[in-house]
Homo-oligomer: A and B are copies of this chain.
Amino acid sequence: MDEKPVYLGILGLGTVGSGAVKILQQSSADITQRTGRRLEIKKVLVRNPDKPRPVTLPKGVITTNPAEVLEDPEIDIIVEVMGGISPAKEHILQAIRSGKHVVTANKELIAKEGRELLTSATNAGVNLYFEGSVAGGIPIVKSLKECLAANMIRTVMGIINGTTNYILTAMTENGADFAQVLQEAQRMGYAETDPTNDVDGRDAAYKLAILASIAFGTRVRVDQIYTEGIRGITAEDIRYAGELGYVIKLLAAGKEHPGRGIEVRVQPAFVPRLHPLAAVGGVFNAVFVQGDAVGDMMFYGRGAGDLPTGSAVVADIMDIAKNLGGKVNPACSCYTDKPVIPLEETRSKYYVRTAVLDKPGVLAQIAGAFGEAGVSLSSVIQKGHGMQPVTLVFVTHEVKEGDLRRAIEKIRFLPVVDAVHNVIRVEEGR
Residues of A within 8 A of B (CB): 19, 23, 27, 30-31, 33-36, 131, 137-139, 142-143, 146-152, 217, 274, 276, 279, 284, 291-302, 305, 307-308, 310-312, 314-315, 318-319, 322-323, 325-327, 329-330, 333, 335
B301 touches A300 (CB 8 A): no
Question: A292 CA to B319 CA in the complex, in Å?
Answer: 19
Question: A314 CA to B146 CA in the complex, in Å?
Answer: 10
Copies of this chain, complex-wide, total 2
Contacts of A322 in B (CB 8 A): 327, 329-330
Contact status of A302 and B310, CB under 8 A, knowing A150-B31, A323-B326, A326-B327 = no
Question: A296 CA to B333 CA in the complex, in Å?
Answer: 30
B27 touches A150 (CB 8 A): yes
Contacts of A138 in B (CB 8 A): 297
Contacts of A34 in B (CB 8 A): 149, 217, 333, 335
A interface SS class: mixed
Determine which residue in A36, A150, A295, A325 has the highest number of CB atoms from chain B within 10 A of its CB, and name it. A150
A315 touches B146 (CB 8 A): yes
Please name the residue on chain B nearest to A323 by beta carbon. Answer: B327
Contacts of A291 in B (CB 8 A): 137, 311
Question: What distance in Å separates the Cβ of A297 from its nearest Cβ neighbour in chain B?
Answer: 4
A294 touches B302 (CB 8 A): yes
Question: A318 CA to B23 CA in the complex, in Å?
Answer: 31
